[in-house]
Amino acid sequence: MKLNKVLGACLTLLIISCSSDDNGDTGPSQEELNQVIGTWQLSQVNVSAAQDVDNDGDSSVNLIEELSCLDGTLTFTADFKWSLQTVNPVITSITNDQFAFSCDNGVQNAGSWALQGNIVLIREGVNTSQLNLSGTTLTEQINENLPMLTSKVYQKN
């Protein structure tokens, strides 16, 4: 009888110790996803060197302060879809590090998104971009040349 009790206790311990405790990554919590879900407004289009595009005597690395036509709205939905409506800068090299700036006619893009830590991955077809999430700010590092378009920054509405 003692042997049955000991075996029963051992079997119980074995069952308990073999329960699912894989601690696998379950993905982001709903609270973390909610930080992303919603509408974001383009607040900065930054270049490497300050420019005085509007010829008001004040230079800025943020082209939004220089070109009133720049605009963008980025939307993330709970079903992991994103859409972007934006008017982008058109930068044309003239000579001697001089550039002409204007705005395109606007574009619309869409795709899927995922959250990995503080990185929002946006996918459009085979292309994937990364945006860094910090509170109510999303930053996309671009690092293009002539003049170097360094980043786009979005603020959550």
* pLDDT tens digits, 103-116: 999 999 999 999 99
Q: Considering its fold, how many domains does the chain have in total?
A: 1
Q: Is residue 88 part of a domain?
A: yes
Q: Is residue 76 part of a domain?
A: yes
| Tens digit of each residue's pLDDT (9 = 90 or more) over 129-154 | 999 999 999 999 997 765 678 999 99
Q: Is residue 98 part of a domain?
A: yes
Q: How many CA atoms lie within 13 A of 10 on its CB side?
A: 6
Pairwise CA distance, residues 86 & 42, whole Å? 8
Task: Supply the mean pLDDT for the chain.
Answer: 86
The reported pTM is 0.79
Query: Lowest-confidence range among 15-19, 29-33, 140-144, 145-149?
Result: 15-19
Q: Is residue 123 part of a domain?
A: no
Structure-token pair, residue 44:
């900065």
Q: Is residue 31 part of a domain?
A: no
Host domain of residue 51: 45-110+136-156
pLDDT of residue 100: 85
Q: Is residue 151 part of a domain?
A: yes
